Amino acid sequence: MASERRMTATDRRRLIARAAGELFVVHGYSGVSMDDVLAVVGGSKGTIYRHFSDKSALFRAAVESLCDEWSGPLHAFSPSGRSLPDTLVALGEHFASIVLTPEAIALHRLVTAEAGRIPGIGDVFFEHGPAAGYAVLGRGLRQACKDGLIEVEDPVRAGAQLYQAMLGDAQMRLLTDAPHKLTEAEVHASIVEAVRVFLRGVSGPRADDRG
């Protein structure tokens, strides 16, 4: 029987960050200690401190790990055979399935609460969360520009604006625990309407080919 593959330092670091992320989302930053993380992953305190100098460093790595994991399906998204409106709506649905989950909302709230106390955590969250999503939308819009379907000066900026139009309302209601949360049908309608209005505003010379 082949021996089990030895865990590398990179594997171990990833395991610790992922486990810590799950704990932070449930218990908050102040509610999790290094000992709590150690109880989940095993090993010694020395192992954790070899990878992370303190809890704030671990928190930054945990946020990065969770954001990268959740955004993975977006980077693999393929719009093959879809019209531009359908592609953008499908991307909006992908975003909704990530950012509107209870876990994502909890992480967003947690980062917002700790941003003033933990240097760099806001940058980590933005670069591995929203910015990654804007880049995915930007790539799609850049290709649509090349195809003559739309005209935008900055596809990534336009992607950020489209994202906010699609999901900003639904996300804000959840983040603030507003009395009325949008239903799945209302979220879908918001995405469709945002795409319709967006495409009307950026129509290129081949707008009639959008499908």
**Digitized pLDDT (tens) for each residue of the chain, 211 residues in all:** 333 357 788 889 999 999 999 999 999 999 999 999 999 998 888 889 999 999 999 999 999 999 999 988 887 777 666 799 999 999 999 999 999 999 999 999 999 999 999 999 999 999 999 999 999 999 999 999 999 999 999 999 999 999 999 999 999 999 999 999 999 999 999 999 999 999 999 986 554 444 4
Cα–Cα dist 58/132, whole Å: 21
Give pTM, 2 decimals: 0.86
